[in-house]
Amino acid sequence: MTSRERVQLVLQHKEPDRMPLDLGASPVTGMQVDTVYNLRQALHLDPPGTPVKVVEPYQMLGEIKSDLMAVLGVDVVGLSQRATQFGFKNEGWKPWTTFQGTPVLVPAGFNTEPDANGDILMYPEGDKSVPPSGRMPKGGFYFDSIVRQPPIDDSALNVEDNLEEFGPVAADALNYLSREAERLYSETDKAILGNFGGTGFGDIALVPAPWLKHPKGIRDVEEWYVSTLTRRDYVYKIFERQCEIGIKNLEEVFAVVGNRVTVCYVSGTDFGQQNGPFISVKTYRDLFKPFHREINNWIHRKTQWKSFIHSCGSVRALLPDFIDAGFDIVNPVQCSAAGMAPEELKKEFGDRVTFWGGGVDTQRTLPFGTPDEVRKEVCERLRIFGQSGGYVFNTTHNVQARVPVENVVAMYETVRQCGRYPLAGRPA
């Protein structure tokens, strides 16, 4: 059975030979680069000191190369645009060292400057002649956006200002996606997850637009949240135009990648906090759902893709609406948040949606537990989520920095041992 067939079967809520596994196919199912380095060393894949590529510079995610995929049994591979969250392309690699002393390779446009405190500043498109758009605190592991909010004059707000990043997909980007889709389809047997961008409405990680040199409109995080209520019409109009552009772009992308792609990453907007949703169900229905539905309807009418939504936190109250809006896959399944107990989620929604993630708690067990605690939790999650397919193993969001490598190894050993169908304790 190929990886692609395995993923397709679970998406049809059937049980293949074993549970499929994702690592690194999307910006929310990967692993921080220091941890990738440590894992590669622990598995003796590289001589000491061999650098790992940083494929996503904002969250500092490390490359999951085919040798690591083979060792772990990864079944999914990502198809992404070349441009990173800081606007430069993933090409022209040069050496760099993280605060932890890990040797890494970063793209040519990864141009940094220390500030007076020793923090590292990052520039949009690597252009140091404009103000920085990202900051990694001294000793830190990731970048955060530097909010560049021009003064807001409500009488002069223009939706186009918040749409600068949502233009038509460029011809060279389409050529790249076309070539890359063909390469991944013919050279690997993995399921392809398409990260095409442009269809996440109000994704707070993207609102500050760290790739833009001079962002306009509403770019401050708090101001954006407030605007979803106080400037509802403005936000709605942004979404309306974004949706139009997004569907046009998906049409063009589909024309070149076709059904080689299995899964389309549609939305990464976080709707949940630790104890409940960020917004009310009513706000979701009024402001977001119409556009989610429109995108998903297009996908289901025109393609065989499955639609993927990522939202951290407690989203139990919103799950029926996500499903109703046409999402097929939910990630990262943050079981540590309120109302997100695995048994209840699987029982209530498991026949209608595929859970992609939730394999281990990355806030507690993975970074702070013992290998035995990791094994126990992973095994239990596989038993619960794996019933009747509808499950792809991944941690709850990216594996972070400072995670003990023995815990990471224990996690993947457990997936291998406990992830076989038929599940233990049930007749074949």
CB 292 within 8 A of CB 326: yes
Map residue 119 onto helix, strand or coil. Answer: coil
81 or 227, CB closer to another protein? 227
Q: Residue 31's beta-bridge partner residues? A: 399
The Cα 117–Cα 4 span in angstroms is: 48
CA distance 322 to 177: 28
x/- track of binding to another protein for residues 139-158 (CB under 8 A): xxxx-x--------------
Q: How many CB atoms lie within 10 A of CB 145?
A: 23
Contact of 140 with 99, CB cutoff 8 Å: yes
Residue selected from 221, 245, 405, 423 as contacting another protein according to rule CB under 8 A = 221
> What is the nearest approach in angstroms of another protein to the Cβ of residue 364?
7
Task: Kindly state the greatest CA–CA separation across the chain.
Answer: 67
Q: Which residue, 97 or 275, has its beta carbon nearer to another protein?
A: 275
With respect to another protein, which residue has the nearer C-beta, 176 or 224? 224
Question: DSSP 3-state assignment of 122?
Answer: strand
| 279 binds another protein, rule: CB under 8 A | yes
User: Which span sits near another protein by CB under 8 A: 270-278, 296-304, 346-354, 412-420?
Assistant: 270-278
How many residues in the shown chain lie near another protein by CB under 8 A?
36
CB of 315 to another protein, least distance (A): 12
228 binds another protein (CB under 8 A): yes
Residue 269 found at the interface with another protein (CB under 8 A): no
What's the CA gap between 350 and 361, in Å, rounded? 19
Is the Cβ of residue 252 or residue 373 nearer to another protein in the bound state?
373
Which residues ranging from 314 to 343 are in contact with another protein (CB under 8 A)?
317
Provide the mask over 77-106, with x wherever binding to another protein is found by CB under 8 A and - wherever it is not.
Answer: ------------------------------
Comparing C-alpha atoms, which of 409, 269, 332, 345 is closest to residue 30? 332
Name the one range near another protein by CB under 8 A: 162-170, 183-191, 240-248, 272-280.
272-280
275 is a site residue for another protein (CB under 8 A):
yes
35 binds another protein (CB under 8 A): no
Q: Which residue in the block uniquely carries the two structure tokens 């405190």?
A: 117
113 counts as binding another protein under rule CB under 8 A = no
Contact status: 394 vs another protein (CB under 8 A): no
Q: Which residues are CB-contacts of 225 (< 8 A; sequence separation ≥ 6)?
A: 204, 278
User: Measured in Å, how far apart are the chain's first and last C-alpha atoms?
Assistant: 18
Site string for another protein, 400-419 (x = CB under 8 A): xxx-----------------
Instruction: Indicate whether 162 belongs to the interface with another protein (CB under 8 A).
Output: no
| DSSP string across 26-60 | STTS-BBHHHHHHHHHHTT-S-TT--EEEEETTTT
Classified as helix, coil or strand, 408 is: helix
Alpha helices (runs of H) in 210-264, residue ranges in sequence order? 221-230, 232-257
Q: In the bound complex, what is the minimum distance in angstroms from residue 58's beta carbon to another protein?
A: 13
Residues that bind another protein (CB under 8 A): 117, 119, 135, 137-142, 144, 221-222, 225-226, 228-230, 273-280, 283, 313, 317, 362-364, 367-368, 400-402
